[in-house]
Amino acid sequence: MQETLFQYLLRLGDDSLILGQRLSEWCGHGPILEEDIALTNISLDLIGQATSILKYASEIENKGRDEDKLAFMRFENEYLNTLLVEQPNGHFGDTILRQFFFDAFRKPLYERLTQSKDKQLSAIAEKSLKETRYHLKHSSEWVIRLGDGTEESHDKIQKSVENLMRYTSELFYEDKVDLDLQQKGLVCSLKDVKQEWDKTVRAVFHEATLKFPDNNWSFDGGRQGRHSEHMGYILADMQYMQRAYPNMKW
């Protein structure tokens, strides 16, 4: 088995899976009907992407754990998603900003992964990129609307910025997994992705009249399986059926 590729796919797949699960919590709770539908549509795209990615991870691992087993039967420290995607939904502005930070990261990442020498990874990236463009358009427009909206909406989303910015540097974390695959031409450098992310965030913040926080305090650990306290609750919810009735089929 190609251990580093498996790890990489889990990182990619778990980001989609956990954010998809988080967004699905909005189902029936959106501030307006259109947004309820939009957030759950995006959730569906992300879970679909997670399915493709984890299915491929399962082939690489080749231990008989299919994509469902990977999604539902791992322990918390085996999930390699970033801390950003597991943060609570908070209010609508918190959710939108978290989504914007993530989409602004995923779009340039997928753009580069379409060039991967790994055919399946490049096919998944090509497919997912088309969906991600719509996600980024949606989230960035809302960040502008809320930031440049009323005094209250501005203050609220500015507070979201102070809170969530701390989780963004982890998106660009690189270790031997990335370096090994970069050398083989399978994945891209996250440094370029970071540059593009900065550009997008700056442009949107400018329109939205939002400020970057003064400090550059940041958290990490998700890529090694060290999660925030929120992760356990997500898994308790998500894995309930498989834990209560092992191997049950829907």
Which spans of this chain sit near other proteins (rule: CB under 8 A)? 34-35, 37-38, 41-42, 44-49, 51-52, 107, 119-120, 122-124, 126-128, 130-131, 133-134, 136-138, 140, 200, 203-204, 207
Cα separation of 38 and 34, whole Å?
6
CB of 134 to other proteins, least distance (A): 6
How many Å separate Cα 198 from the centre of its chain? 17
Residues 218/169, Cβ–Cβ less than 8 Å: yes
Q: Closer to other proteins at the Cβ: 9 or 83? A: 9
Based on CB atoms, which residue is closest to other proteins, 144 or 181?
144
The nearest distance, CB 217 to other proteins, in angstroms, is 28
Q: Which is nearer to other proteins, 35 or 180 (by Cβ)?
A: 35
- C-beta of 130: minimal distance to other proteins in Å? 5
The minimum distance between CB 26 and other proteins, in angstroms, equals 12
The least CB distance from residue 247 to other proteins, in Å, is: 19
Cβ 58 vs Cβ 11: under 8 Å: no
CA distances from 242 to 36, 68, 234, 249 (A): 27, 10, 14, 9
Residue nearer to other proteins on the CB measure, 46 or 161: 46
For residue 89, give the amino acid letter.
N
Sign of CA dihedral 8, 130, 190, 147: negative
Radius of gyration of the chain (CA): 18
Closest distance to other proteins from the beta carbon of 232 (Å): 25
The minimum distance between CB 25 and other proteins, in angstroms, equals 16
DSSP type of residue 33: H
Q: Which is nearer to other proteins, 174 or 207 (CB)?
A: 207
Q: How many CA atoms lie within 13 A of 162 on its CB side?
A: 7
Q: How far is CA 115 from the centre of its chain?
A: 21
Comparing CB distances to other proteins, the nearer of 95 and 200 is 200
Query: Quick check: helix, strand or coil at residue 141?
Result: helix
Residue 33 vs 248, nearer CB to other proteins:
33
DSSP annotation of 91:
S
Rounded to whole angstroms, the Cα distance separating 52 from 172 reads 22
